[in-house]
A and B are shown apart, each in its own frame.
Chain A
Amino acid sequence: MNVTIILFILLAVLLLGALVWATRPPKRRLVSINDVLTALSEERHYSRLPQILQALRPEDTAFLRARGFAPLRRRIRSERGRIALLYLDCLQEEYEKLLEASRVVAAMAPELVALDEAERFKLNLRFALGCRYLRWKLRLGLEPWRGFGLLSEMTSGMALRLEVATSQIGERAALSLAFSSILKERDSGTR
């Protein structure tokens, strides 16, 4: 069997796999703009980032080893790692809510910017991979400082993009309101 035939068959099988994946029932929770607004008004987790980062620094618990409490230090560090993992879950949840919000906005928007959508999709992939990488790093007890910084940056980027999209929609809505009021005034003037 030659390579061409194998490639065609492989592609068809891949497409069948993608079909099965794409037809699975979605796991979405947020469906309406009200849900999105509620989600956005919930308490943010970013404010705990400095404490989390501080707690994960080896210097923060170095004095315990110097004073001969090495087992205690290990236990504290493992517990702090577990807390950081929980924090990461919250961060991811928050990111997904933002993403969901941006999808709701996209469904309501009269036009989308292809590059922005593609970038958001890319960011989403990066965030998912970054989260997984960071989780493994934390489980292995490695220094997660740079990873956390990167994830926060991504979440900030997502919020910025969302703001641009919503402001565009807001401008359009305001324009159409102004336009309809002008039309009303004109109609009443001509009567």
Chain B
Amino acid sequence: MSETLNLRNLELAVTTITELILFVYLVRRKLYRSHPLFSAYILIVILQNVLVAVTYGIWGFQSFRAWLIYWISQILVETARFVAVVEVARRILSPFSGIWALGRRVLLATAGGVLVYAALLSGEYWYKLPLNVDRGAGLAVAAVIVALLLFARYYGLPMDHLDRSLCVGFCLYSCFCVINDSLLEKWVTSYLNFWGFLFVLTFLASLFLWIGAARAYSETAPSRVPVIVPKELYGKLSSELNLRLRLLNEHLNQLLNSGEQR
């Protein structure tokens, strides 16, 4: 029992130190200005670690109170994670108003659809509810990130290294959470310690990825400039495009008509 508790404390200490390193980088590079919600997410995760460590110290790691406090704080962390992902999505898509208007609907529908799917497939035992919520949220975050990356790829949108790293980190962590939670559901008791270890390991991997991106970030790096075409040029350009396309269409129509006449 005490060995398990020591291992838990060690895991908590390692993740908290890594999170603090990331947070220091976020503050030093002034990234809290461009990524306020992501910074808030990291801060919330640090506070959760402190709260969980205190709870385990007072009531023990297998008590109902510790279980309850952990999962209530986890809901807050999940919400913060989702909001941080929305922030990244907004940063990538919003410079392009048309794509952002469509993209946010697609991403919302993806998140909603995945949450409904997860809820329908989840078990009906009450003690599994937090686990199901965690898994559903993880799956939704991963699906939203993948949809966002595919969207950005399809339209060829620019994405800086930090945002890409945030996306990859969130998605990796969320996918491993889903796998982890699913395995835990099957082997609740025998898998518990190993689950905690894997959970920490995957989160640490994401943290290191983000630390690397935050370290590499420099204010002198060229900032994201959305494609802005002056209105006059815009009108000229569109009429030019129209002309080219009209010619192309006429050409095609002639070909199609000649094919029918055969």
Contact = CB atoms under 8 A, between A and B. Distances in A.
Which of A40, A166, A176, A177 gathers most chain B CB within 10 Å? A166
Contacts of A170: 235, 238-239, 242
B156 A28 contact: yes
A5 B183 contact: yes
Interface in A1-42: 1-2, 4-5, 7-9, 11-13, 15-16, 18-19, 22-23, 26, 28, 31, 33, 36-37, 40-41
Secondary structure type dominating chain A contacts: helix
B197 to A, nearest CB: 18
Nearest to B148: A22
Interface residues of B, number: 62
A177 B251 contact: no
Secondary structure type dominating chain B contacts: helix
Interface stretch (B61-69, B96-104, B211-219): B96-104
B255 A46 contact: yes
B234 interface: yes
Interface string B118-161: 10011100000000000100010011011001100111110000
A106 B248 contact: no
Contacts of A47: 251, 255
B102 A166 contact: no
Interface string A76-120: 000000000000000000000000110101111111101001000
A31 to B, nearest CB: 7
B183 A177 contact: no
A162 interface: yes
A191 B249 CA distance: 49
Contacts of B239: 170
A138 B135 CA distance: 48
Interface string A145-183: 000010011011001101100110110011011001000
Contacts of A101: 241
Given A15-B171, A47-B255, A49-B255, 11 more contacts: A2-B186, A5-B182, A5-B183, A108-B227, A109-B97, A110-B98, A112-B102, A149-B259, A170-B242, A174-B235, A177-B231
